[in-house]
Chains A and B, each alone.
Chain A
Amino acid sequence: MGLIKKVPVYIEKFPGGGILTTSLDYVLSQSRASSLWYLLFGTACCAIELMATGASRYDFDRLGMIFRASPRQSDLIIAAGTITKKMSPRLRLLYDQMSQPRYVIAMGGCTVKGGPFYYDSYSVEKGIDHIVPVDVYIPGCPPRPESLLEGCLTLQKKIKKEKIADWS
C-alpha cells in the first residue's frame, strides 16, 4: 500500500495533476460506497430487522448492497444483535478474514453499549467497539429498517469522503 499512498502525492505536483487525483478519488470512493456487500451475520433479534431491510419492502439492493455468505467477498459487517463474550472472538475472526477496505456497522443497543436489557449481564460484550473498529452506530432495540437504511446512507457518506492518501 505504500506505493499507492505516495503516487497521488507525486502526481499532484504536476500542473493539472490535482484534477486527475480528485476525479480518481471520486470514482474509487463512489464505487466503494455504492457496492457495499454485507456479510450474513446476525446474532439476535436485530437480524430479523436486517432481513426485513434486505427483503422486498425496504430493499437493500436499491443502494447496491447484496449479502455475501463468505467474509472474503464482503466489504461490510453489520453486527446485528447481542455479541456475547463467547461470540466476540468469532466476530474478530470474521472481521480479520474480510479483505480491506472493510467497514463495520454496529446495529442495535447491544452492539453499541451492551444493550438495554443485558447491560448488567456477565456474558455480554459491552459494545463491539471493544473488539472491532466501528464506523457507524445505529441505536434502537431493535432499530427499524428505516434507521438501518439511514445508517447505511451515513456510512456511504463517510466512504465518499475517503481519499486514496488516507488508505492504511
Chain B
Amino acid sequence: MELANIFKYLYQSLANSGLPQVWVDIIALVAAGLIVFGVLAVIALFLVWWERKVSAHIQQRFGPMRTGWHGVLQTIADAIKLIQKEDITPTNVDRPVFYWAPIIAFVAAFLAYIAIPFGKGLIVSDLNIGILFIIAITTFTIISLLMAGWGSNNKYALLGGMRSAAQVVSYEVPMVVSILPIILFAGTLSMVEIVEAQAKIYQWFIFRVPFGPIAFIIYIIAGTAETNRTPFDLPEAEQELVAGFNVEYSGMKFAMFFLAEFVNMFTVCAIATTLFLGGWQGPFLPSWVWFLGKTLVLVFLLMWFRWTYPRLRVDQLMEFSWKFLVPLSFANLIIAGFMKHSKWFNW
C-alpha cells in the first residue's frame, strides 16, 4: 500500500486531462504543498497531545483525560480556544516586526519539508542540494525569534530572543559538522540518494562504527538545542524570563509559535531518520509507515530528554557546544575521512 502510487496515478490522470503542462505542474505543486501542510498540522497537534501525555506519565500523572478518549481532542480544544482569544498588540511594540515574526517562524518550519522524503517517492521535490537547503531554511527560525524578541519591546522577550540566537548559532556548527561524514560516505547532498545509500540495515549510517553513532549522538544533542527544548530551553526559561521571546504574544500568534516549535522538533527527528536510520527503508510495511515510526521514536526520545533533565546554565551551554561538541565533531569528520580513504571500511 504505497501512497506514492496513488499520487502518481492522480498526477497521470491530471496530465492526461488535456490541461496545459504549466497548469498541471502548478496544480500538482499547490496540491502537494497543501497535503504536506495538512499532514504536518495534524502531526503537530498530535505531538502536543503526546508530549502532554508523555510528560504526565513520566511524572506519574495522567495528563489530559476529560476531552475525548484520554484527552485526544485536547489540542483541538486548545486550538479552537486560541482562535477565539483576543489578539492583543501592545501599544509600544514595533508593529510590522511584531506582526511578521510568528508568520516567519511558521513558514520557516514548514519550508524544510520540501526536501524531506516521507516515503519511497513521497517527496515534494528531490533537490540535489537537499540537506544543504534544509539546514539553510531551518536556520530562519532564529530570525523570527529575534524579531519576536526585539519587536515585543519587552526586556524578557529581548533577553529570550538574544539567548536563542546565541544558542542556535553555536549549536549550528556541531550539527552541520556532524552531518558531513554522512555526506562524505553517501557522496551526495540529495536526501533520496542518502536514503538509498542505506539499503541494508548494516548500511544505516548509525551502525557504521565508529563515526556513525558519534555523529548521531552529536546531531541529536545539537538538534535538541536547535529546537530550544529542555535541557537547552534557555530562551523560554520560566523562572528567569517569564515565557521568553513569546511573552507578549496572545491568541493565534502564540499558537503559530507553538505549532512551529513542534514542527521543528519533528523536522529534526525526520532529518535524523533520513540521515542515520535509513529513512523509509524497512521490510513488510509501507515505506511511509517506517518513516513515521522511526521519526516518532526519535520524537519520543526528545520528549524523554525534556522531562528528565534539568536546564543548563548559559555558560555551561556555551562551553558544552564550543569546548566539547565542536572538537568532537571535527575529530569525527577526520576519522570518517581516513576511513573513506583507506578503503577497508567500504560497505
Contact A34 B247 (CB under 8 A): no
With A32-B80, A64-B71 already in contact, 6 other A-B pairs whose C-beta atoms are closer than 8 Å: A31-B81, A31-B84, A35-B78, A59-B56, A70-B243, A100-B86
Contact B64 A99 (CB under 8 A): no
Mark A residues whose CB is within 8 Å of B: 27-28, 30-32, 34-35, 40, 56, 59, 61-64, 66, 68-70, 72-73, 75, 97, 99-101
How far does the alpha carbon of A34 sit from the alpha carbon of B64 in the complex, in Å? 9
Contact A72 B254 (CB under 8 A): yes
- Which B residue sits closest to A62, measured CB to CB? B65
On chain B, the residues within 8 Å of A31 by CB distance are 76-81, 84
What are 15 contact pairs spanning A and B, CB under 8 A?
A: A32-B80, A34-B67, A40-B238, A56-B60, A61-B52, A62-B61, A62-B64, A63-B66, A64-B67, A64-B71, A69-B247, A72-B254, A73-B250, A73-B254, A75-B85
How far does the alpha carbon of A101 sit from the alpha carbon of B65 in the complex, in Å? 23
Q: A100-B85, A101-B85 are in contact. Are A69 and B80 (CB under 8 A)?
A: no
- Which A residue sits closest to B251, measured CB to CB? A99
Contact A64 B88 (CB under 8 A): no
Let me know if B62 is at the binding interface, CB within 8 A. Answer: yes
Contact A61 B56 (CB under 8 A): yes
On chain B, the residues within 8 Å of A97 by CB distance are 88
How far does the alpha carbon of A73 sit from the alpha carbon of B248 in the complex, in Å? 8
Contact B80 A99 (CB under 8 A): no
Contact B77 A30 (CB under 8 A): yes
How far does the alpha carbon of A73 sit from the alpha carbon of B18 in the complex, in Å? 51
Shortest B93–chain A CB gap in Å is 12
Central interface residue in B71, B77, B254, by most chain A CB within 10 Å:
B77
Partner of B84, one of A28, A56, A59, A73: A28
Contact A70 B247 (CB under 8 A): yes
How far does the alpha carbon of A22 sit from the alpha carbon of B246 in the complex, in Å? 34
On chain A, the residues within 8 Å of B247 by CB distance are 69-70, 72
